[in-house]
Amino acid sequence: MIVKDGQQSQVAVKKEAGAVTNNVDIESFADAGFDNVDSKSLALPFLKVLGQLSPQVTQGDSQFNPEARPGMIYNTVTDELYDGAKGMKVIPCFYKLEYIEWRDRDKGSVAPVNVYPADSDIMSKTTRDEKGKDRLENGNYIEETASHYVTIVEPEKSSTAMITMKSTQRKKSKKWNSMMMSLRQKRKDGKGFFRPAPFTQLYTLKTVLEKNNLGSWYGWEIEHVGTVDSEDTIKGAFDFYESCKKGAVRVNHGKEEQQVEKSPF
């Protein structure tokens, strides 16, 4: 496991006989070996906020991590943990709103039953139950799900991931979109302002404790940092945006449900 932001890493680099060293120009082999790897072969990580009931913080669970704590940010593919109070840097690259139909967990599979686009009228066919779930006549429920595709920015590297915001976190998604839409920068010729593309802007994601009459949980806190200062990083974020826009990035919502507990709030 790897723990970010000041906590000790458990990953060690060992130099042994036959190991690749800095004397080998691995850049000369760039992109080789991925001949048959396409979007169907990749798992896009989710960034999740760990809660009190998350498998990663539950002793005895197969996904238990002794370094994990409620409020941390968890990468579902790399198992990396980020300190939620200190936060992590991301670049928003693409946004998508969907309505996802689920069966209750006690009824078997955690794979979505259906995924409806943003312009669907599926919500008009639901009724709100006593627990706040929007139920269809068949007993399944619909979750309005906002997906933010991001580039994670770290020293010496960057990677891609997705953040889903639903239920109480939908207002955070709307706030983030409003922040991006309201940004203005002065044109080079000094004549007026323009709205910068999201994939040129850097944000800090933190977590905060939230409460309502049903209980408490950790949610997202989003802060704008400024314009990305690396042209290469912006180009990489733009490439990810293009892939998302073309539908080349596949998302496994069912896998997300399996790896982190579903908040009841």
Q: Residue 120: which pLDDT band, with cuts at 50, 70 and 90?
A: very high
In a domain, 125, yes or no: no
Nearest CA to 77 out of 263, 258, 264 is that of 258
Comparing 1-15, 47-61, 81-95, 128-142, which segment has the lowest mean pLDDT? 1-15
What does the pLDDT read at residue 34? 57
How do residues 81-114 score in pLDDT, each as one tens digit? 999 999 999 999 999 999 999 998 776 667 899 9
Please name every residue paired with 202 in a beta bridge, in sequence order, or none if there are none: 226
Distance between terminal CA atoms of the chain?
29
* Block residue for tokens 């946004």: 95
What percentage of the chain carries pLDDT values higher than 70?
A: 82
Q: Three-class SS of residue 163?
A: strand
Residue 178 sits at φ, ψ, to 5 deg, of -65, -40
Q: Which residue has the tokens 């073309």?
A: 246
The stretch 66-77 carries a mean pLDDT of 96
Q: How many whole angstroms separate alpha carbon 165 and alpha carbon 146?
A: 5
What are the DSSP E strand ranges found in 189-228? Answer: 193-194, 201-212, 215-227
Q: Is the pLDDT of residue 78 over 70?
A: yes
Would you say residue 141 lies in a domain? no
Nearest to 71 by CA among 140, 150, 5: 5
The pLDDT value given to residue 75: 95
Which of 78, 71, 98 is CA-nearest to residue 1?
78
Q: What is the pTM of this model?
A: 0.81
Whether 115 maps to a domain, the answer reads no
Output the six-digit token pair for 89.
């840097």
Has residue 152 been placed in a domain? Answer: yes
Domain that holds residue 84: 28-95+147-176+196-259
pLDDT, greater one: 150 or 29: 150
Tens of pLDDT, residues 208-227: 999 888 789 999 999 999 99
Q: Where are the alpha helices (DSSP H) in the chain?
A: 170-182, 231-245, 253-259
Pick the closest to residue 209 from 200, 221, 201 (CA basis).
221
Residue 166 counted as domain residue: yes
pLDDT digits (tens, 9 = 90+) for 3-34: 665 444 444 434 444 445 567 877 777 767 65
> Does the pLDDT value for residue 138 go beyond 70?
yes
In a domain, 107, yes or no: no
> How far is the C-alpha of 137 from the C-alpha of 130, rounded, in Å?
15
In a domain, 213, yes or no: yes
Number of domains in the chain: 1
Mean of per-residue pLDDT scores for the chain: 86
Helix ranges restricted to H, 48-192: 170-182
Per-residue model confidence (pLDDT) at position 35: 60
